[in-house]
Amino acid sequence: MRISLLLAMAILLCGCHPSGNSSGSKGSRSESPAASRPASTAGASSQPAFSGKYPIEVVSTVGMVADIVRNVGGNQLQVSQVMGAGVDPHLYKATRDDVQKIMKADLVFYSGLMLEGKMSDTLIKVARSKPVVAVTESIDEATLLEPESLQGHYDPHVWMDVSAWTKCVHVVASTLSTFDPENTDSYETNAEAYTNELGKLHEYGVRAIASIPEGKRLLVTSHDAFNYLGRAYGLEVQGVQGISTESEAGLQRVNELVEMLVARKVEAVFIESSVPRKNIDALIEGARSKGHEIRVGGELFSDAMGEAGTYEGTYIGMLDHNITTITRALGGETPERGFQGKLKSHSESE
């Protein structure tokens, strides 16, 4: 069993090197995307129940995963994350301190779908001695996007669709309950409460984006991290770079987008907190050279959440910020401080 699981993880080492832009829709090729499915290496069921001292030490790779674990685990866990605000997981390589932190943990959670491709070696090694779990493992393949540019792999940015990301809550709750059965009731209760909050956030997204005039529902960003958001809430999405920030934006792609922006009289494009803004600046300059002025509609969180300790540093705050920022910039209507009334107002943001 362990050998087969390690082989499955080894497939992830191939990495993801897409080029060009993805359409965000499923490809029609015969190549199977099965190799990109997350593999939970040495799952919790192969380990004895927890018998150590509380809190249980848990490490998560990215903030979106860590936030699920914190909400479900409550006071029973001490959760740390490897990548903080503004860190690009596509390019991140584990440091010596990261490896030591992961090795000392009781449990490790990661997103999967090759988001953390450069950490695969570390995850494989750690999986020999403790549960290492991909939270996206229970998401139905029919829900996942298969862009043609990924050559048979799935788009990993599932958290942009709140309804799809909610499935990951059940993976965390199940893993914790198996590892620490004494606190199963607590984990299940916490998971249910968090799932209910995510349901309300999803409904907010649907309402907010629907308020944008139909002809203006075009989201242009630095890279293709928003296709799940576009599908879930009714936006056309265009990224300068591909799904992974390892891909380079070609001059042809930039020129294509400039022509689109000018022809459709698009008023706003968006930068990302974890991606350099040079490609967006190139679009703005290109459009200006053709006599069309475009502004930056705001900074969105794509592959990383906001600063720790802030509302935007939580998953709900991250998506609230994105949905609210996009809606306002494209002509829709939202509450002044967003979904939970915790975002900064226009005057405070300036």
pLDDT score recorded for residue 47? 61
pLDDT score recorded for residue 272? 93
Q: What counts of helices (H) and strands (E) characterise the chain?
A: 12, 8
Please report, as a single letter, which amino acid is at residue 265.
Answer: K
Q: CB–CB of 77/92 below 8 Å?
A: no
pLDDT score recorded for residue 275? 84
Q: What pLDDT tens digit does each residue of the chain (350 aa) get?
A: 333 333 344 433 333 333 333 333 333 333 333 444 544 544 444 566 788 899 999 999 999 999 999 999 999 999 999 999 988 898 899 999 999 999 999 999 999 999 998 898 889 889 999 999 999 988 999 999 998 777 778 999 999 999 999 999 999 999 999 999 999 999 999 999 999 999 999 999 999 999 999 999 999 998 889 999 999 999 999 988 765 545 555 788 889 999 999 999 999 999 998 788 999 999 999 999 999 999 999 999 999 999 999 999 999 999 999 999 999 999 999 999 999 999 986 555 55
State the DSSP string of 8-59: HHHHGGG-----S---SS----SS--GGGS---BT-GGGSPPP-SPSSEEEE
- 242: helix, coil or strand? coil
Distance CA 74, CA 182 (A): 14
Structural domains of the chain ordered from first start: 2-14+40-45+54-204 (3.40.50.1980), 211-349 (3.40.50.1980)
For residue 321, the 8-state DSSP code is H
Distance CA 100, CA 77 (A): 18
